[in-house]
Amino acid sequence: MEPINPSQGSALVETLVPVSSLAQAKLDIEQLPSDVFSPGHLPQHYLQQLSQHPGLHSGDLEQAARVITQAATYILGIDRASLWLYSMPDAFVLLDRYDRKSDTRYQGTRLNPKEHLPYFKTLGCRQGLIVEDISQPPASISYLIEKGLIYQRSGAFLELPLRCQSAVVGVLWCEHRQARQWTALENANATSITLLAAIAINNQQRSLLNDKLDQQHRKLRRETIEREQAEQAWQESQQFIQRLIDASTNILYVDSFADGRNFYVNRWIENVLGYEPYEMQRLGDHYLEKLVHADEKEMMIEQRQRLSTIKDGEIVENEYRLRHRQGGWRWLLCRETIFQRDSEGRPVQVFGTATEITNRKRAEVALQNFNQELEQLAKMDGLTQVANRRSFDKYMERVWSNVDSTQSSLSLILCDIDYFKRFNDTYGHQAGDLCLRQVAKAIEQAVKRNTDLVARYGGEEFAVVLPDTNVSGAKRVAEDICETVRQLNIMHSASEVSDRVTLSLGIASISSPQKIELDQLVAAADQGLYDAKSSGRDCFCVGAIER
């Protein structure tokens, strides 16, 4: 096994979680005095206690990770333990890191193994690493130190891969701030901990699989019930006289084909439409046409006419809205067939079943509305709620094609928040996200017309597309944008141009006809943005289009 040397700096962003919020995940062993936890000399029943902890068998991997990392620091007498989940080939996620001295936790760091090959290249084939002094680390550990993932000073390190069915599914890192020898008992205890961690991962996967199987079972059961109900309705339509009973959960009816009068309807109609069966007969000729919604009346007439052309056993079905006796509408799925013919084969009676589908239709409408909302969300930037880069590209292609055909002008403004990286470093990423949202909203307020488009171009950069706008108009809009953002009065102590958040803007404009490409317009706006930054920022410049 290879040896290592960690560092305190971290090049990655992690989430600090107060231990007080994780009190339920702590082990009973925390209540013992600290001198009990000398390296390698913890009573073995604490390892047994860990193996029996409900958090390892609940299927909740986050809870299990908190239990395992904390227990590892006490059982092994180390300063820090980290449990990583490895989902090959592109996800390496920190489930939990527990620092015993500070009693703090970190979660959420995510690495792409393809971008960290010095460490991950041999992870799957090695049994682990035992490092007693990382002042002279091996290559793979040097890489972890360089990236700030482990301590960057003298100390000791253990790496133990977690395996399920021979595949690496995670890694346990054990770190100590001072060099030390790892005893055989400590190595055995660490191996036991990794086995328990692998069991926890396997339990989570099994829990997810069970949930999926339960869902599939419920779905299959629903489909089976629906199929059985449909088969039952079909059998009743073929044996109408023998199987016509009021207990049916479908409306069953027999009508005259010639004049549409009702001969028979079961009592289920009262549950669906509120009418007694005799009231249907009193409605007289074409009674269904008197109840159907105006939007479906013509379709109902056409379907009845179609019945005259079908063969015996064929079914015509459609969906209609019928008026309830107390008002309102109910959706019904109606299936009809020719029940009796005269001696010349002409239809005499129609037999039908009607199933209420009001709830299903409501669900379809809700689904349609939901899909429309999803389509709208696909066009928007999730953070700033302005158009995303994809929408910007499509809109630019459309307005660009109109420039020559309409003999119009087109302007593009690129906006960049001055010293935004410093803003993030000073105030944090949450404040940075809020700043982006406020700036995006301010730009939208400054851009007045419905035909104009404000989009997030990338990072802290925004784009404004101004159809039918020459360079003079674009300058006015740019000035309005700058002023509106200034009026936000967002504090920015790290800026070299102002104590408030400001923008630098680049403008590019064309008028038809122009023998240039769209990329040249974008490049000109980008050059204008560069010139604005070179001129001291908090201003705008017009970029020249290179031909």
547 residues of the chain, pLDDT tens digit each: 433 333 333 322 232 233 333 333 344 444 433 333 344 444 466 777 787 788 777 778 888 889 899 888 888 889 999 998 887 667 888 889 999 999 999 888 888 888 777 777 777 777 888 888 888 777 777 777 777 778 766 688 888 898 877 788 889 999 998 888 888 888 888 888 888 888 888 888 888 888 888 898 888 888 888 888 888 877 777 666 555 556 678 899 999 988 999 989 888 899 999 999 899 989 999 999 999 999 999 999 888 888 888 888 888 888 999 999 999 999 999 999 988 888 888 899 999 999 998 888 887 887 777 667 666 667 888 899 999 998 899 999 888 888 766 668 899 999 999 999 999 999 999 999 999 999 999 999 999 888 899 999 989 999 999 998 999 999 999 999 999 999 999 999 999 999 999 999 999 999 876 678 889 999 999 999 999 999 999 999 999 888 7
Measured in degrees and rounded to the nearest 5, phi and psi for residue 295 equal -70, -20
3-state SS string for 297-358: HHHHHHHHHHHCCCCCCCCEEEEEEEECCCCCEEEEEEEEEEEEECCCCCEEEEEEEEEECH
pLDDT at res. 2: 37
Q: Name the residue type at position 29.
A: I
Structure tokens given for 130: 């035992």
pLDDT at res. 153: 65
> Is the separation of the CB atoms in 170 and 25 below 8 Å?
no
Q: Name the residue type at position 382.
A: G
> Is the separation of the CB atoms in 42 and 83 below 8 Å?
no
Per CATH, domain 15-208 is 3.60.15.10:
no
* Domains 15-208 and 243-360 agree in fold: yes
Strand partners, 322: 292, 330
Question: Structural domain boundaries of the chain?
Answer: 15-208, 243-360, 379-542
What's the fold here for domain 243-360? Answer: Beta-Lactamase (3.30.450)
Measured in degrees and rounded to the nearest 5, phi and psi for residue 380 equal -105, 150
> Is the separation of the CB atoms in 428 and 528 below 8 Å?
no
pLDDT at res. 31: 40
Query: Per residue in 352-361, pLDDT tens?
Result: 999 998 888 8
Per CATH, domain 379-542 is 2.70.70.10:
no
The Cα 105–Cα 289 span in angstroms is 70
3-state SS string for 173-222: EEEECCCCCCCHHHHHHHHHHHHHHHHHHHHHHHHHHHHHHHHHHHHHHH
Structure tokens given for 278: 């005799």
Q: At what angle do helices 61-76 and 184-238 cross, to 10 degrees?
A: 170
The Cα 190–Cα 39 span in angstroms is 11
> Is the separation of the CB atoms in 129 and 4 below 8 Å?
yes
The Cα 23–Cα 103 span in angstroms is 11
pTM: 0.39
Query: Per residue in 407-433, pLDDT tens?
Result: 688 999 999 999 999 999 999 999 999
The Cα 151–Cα 131 span in angstroms is 13
Residue 479: exposure state from Cβ atoms within 10 A (0-12, 13-18, ≥19):
middle
pLDDT at res. 26: 41
Structure tokens given for 113: 């193994």
